[in-house]
Structure 1
Amino acid sequence: MSAPTARPSAFAKRAGDAVCRASAFLTRLRRARLFHPAGRSFAGEVTIWGTSGPPTGVAFLDEPGRYPATIRLSKGTSTPGSWPDVLGLAVRVHTDGPRPVDLLVSSSGARPVLRAVALPRRRFAGTYSTIVPLRADRGRRLWLAALADPDSIDLGRSLAEVAAATRTEEPRLVLATASAVGPWRPFGQVSIGTQLSARQDAALAFDPIGNLPTGLRAVGAMAWLRGQSYRGSRRARGVEAQSGGSIGVTV
């Protein structure tokens, strides 16, 4: 028999509600997403090959599969054109389960120390990391990442160039996982297809905490803060954690 889920304390609930309200206020103030307001969304596909070497214990990472997906590439602070910014990649994987899988990663370094740091850059092809580690059921910490595919068309240096790249080819990024100090181990790829409309992009909402693959948990203060902030931003936009996403088009 599994242990009962611990309920948050009254203080934690009040603190969470306060962060949620503040995030909702800021979202209404800027009239856009609180995080990564400028972006482009696409229909696409995620192919899972499975991890090489020892399994992670997370079925989504270890077991081969092929899923329709919705992909969003974005700029964290909406700098103009090709100016440097913390770039974001959000992938909604439409699985057969009761909820989708949302993978959100930010531009970072590839080396162990730098994979935990969000780094501004110009080009959309490069390393994106979860920044904070995720905890698997076995207790081990894992980072997830999307890495540049050397055989793929370049995504360019602006959102306009990203969109242009998808009109001629199907850009790809490699999905990978790693421990705190180990090398990246590829387990799949993201293929980026047809661009979605501005209305579809505006309706799309992600949950980087509640929509993780089964067997992975976001833990720690940063994960808590992120979860409450996203909740407030979604509330102000009038969307739910499962809102948006096209499963009608794959590449």
Structure 2
Amino acid sequence: MTRPTPQEPARRAAGPAARAVERASAALGRLRRGRLLHPAGASFSARVTIWGTPGPPVGVGLLDDPGEYAGVVRLSRGTPTPGGWPDVLGLALRVDSGPGRPFDLLVSSSGAAPVLRNLPLPRRGFSGTYSTIMGYRAGRHRLWLAALADPEAVDLGRTLSAVTAAAQADAPRMVLAVASAVGSWRPIGQVGIGVSLDARQDAALAFDPVRNLPAGLRAAGPLAWLREQTYRGSREARGVTAQSGGSTATTV
């Protein structure tokens, strides 16, 4: 009789644990009648320009190689606090990197320093540093991604209505960057925020920051597991899929 490996009990336990988290997230989502996380937000079309990785490549073609892509960007508040109050702000970006292969990048307001980039930090204004909080692995390398304020772009303001007004009046931009656990941010591209999407289109969007990743990049750490189950439960409650929405914000 073959003895089980030490990893097999953990694998067997992972299924029920994952389903329990998913069910709890779905139940909370149904109570809220909408998104479980970052319920209040504004979505826009986006133009993503990748300049390429300065210095040594990270081993992810989508980040290392120059290119231009259509996409959608959603700016949101973490909790239903009044506009202008400090909150953990969010930026969700879907890059249409190819048929059936979206890249979903979800980042939260944080500090720019190595230690602070791992912590979601409340702030008032939508212009600032957003980091992935959750780390990634590309080959043997651990890395973080970020959307940084462009000092030459229009300020996004403190409320969702101010973000919408900025998009209508100008062409807001955010800088995409990559960093190691202790290194400085390296700019790799930018996100141009375009026309505003309506409430129906915003509601149709659904992101999966764990599974919708480009080749060569994978989510790492226990937070990735928790995030995967939580987002799955939230999507289940809303009746959407991991690839709902796109550059035209139509459900697919």
SS of equivalent residue, structure 2 residue 164: helix
- After TM superposition, the structure 1 = structure 2 runs for residues 152-191 of structure 1, keeping only pairs within 5 Å, are 152-191=153-192
Structure 1's unaligned 5+ residue stretches are 1-5
1:53 maps to 2:64: no
AA at the equivalent of 2:144: W
SS of equivalent residue, structure 2 residue 230: helix
- Displacement of 1:97 in angstroms is 4.3
For 1:106, the equivalent position in structure 2 comes to: 108
Which of structure 1's runs of 4+ aligned residues deviate more than 3 A?
none
For 1:220, the equivalent position in structure 2 comes to: 221
1:17 maps to 2:19: yes
Distance in 2, matches of 1:219 and 1:81, equals 33
Q: Is the 8 A contact 2:101 2:214 kept in 1?
A: no
For 1:3, the equivalent position in structure 2 comes to: none
Q: Is the 8 A contact 1:200 1:245 kept in 2?
A: no
- After TM superposition, the structure 1 = structure 2 runs for residues 68-217 of structure 1, keeping only pairs within 5 Å, are 68-137=70-139, 139-217=140-218
Q: Is the 8 A contact 1:91 1:103 kept in 2?
A: yes
AA at the equivalent of 2:75: L
- Displacement of 1:91 in angstroms is 0.4
Bigger drift between 60-69 and 215-224 goes to 215-224
AA at the equivalent of 2:218: R
Instruction: Give the TM-score normalised by the residue count of structure 2.
Output: 0.93
Distance in 2, matches of 1:176 and 1:78, equals 29
**After superposition, what is the alpha-carbon deviation per residue over 1:15-36, rounded to whole angstroms, capped at 9, x for unaligned?**
1011000000000011110110
SS of equivalent residue, structure 1 residue 9: helix
Q: Is the 8 A contact 2:107 2:132 kept in 1?
A: yes
AA at the equivalent of 1:128: Y
SS of equivalent residue, structure 1 residue 227: helix
AA at the equivalent of 1:239: V
For 1:66, the equivalent position in structure 2 comes to: 68
**After superposition, what is the alpha-carbon deviation per residue over 1:59-106, rounded to whole angstroms, capped at 9, x for unaligned?**
111000000010000000121110010000000001124321001000
Distance in 2, matches of 1:23 and 1:111, equals 32
**After superposition, what is the alpha-carbon deviation per residue over 1:126-147, rounded to whole angstroms, capped at 9, x for unaligned?**
000001211112x110000000
Distance in 2, matches of 1:103 and 1:117, equals 17
Q: Is the 8 A contact 2:19 2:229 kept in 1?
A: yes
Structure 2's unaligned 5+ residue stretches are 1-6
AA at the equivalent of 2:201: Q
SS of equivalent residue, structure 1 residue 205: coil
Q: Is the 8 A contact 2:135 2:221 kept in 1?
A: no
Alignment length (residue pairs): 242
AA at the equivalent of 1:225: L
Bigger drift between 75-84 and 91-100 goes to 91-100
For 1:36, the equivalent position in structure 2 comes to: 38
Q: Is the 8 A contact 2:136 2:219 kept in 1?
A: yes
- Percent identity between matched residues is 66
AA at the equivalent of 1:56: V
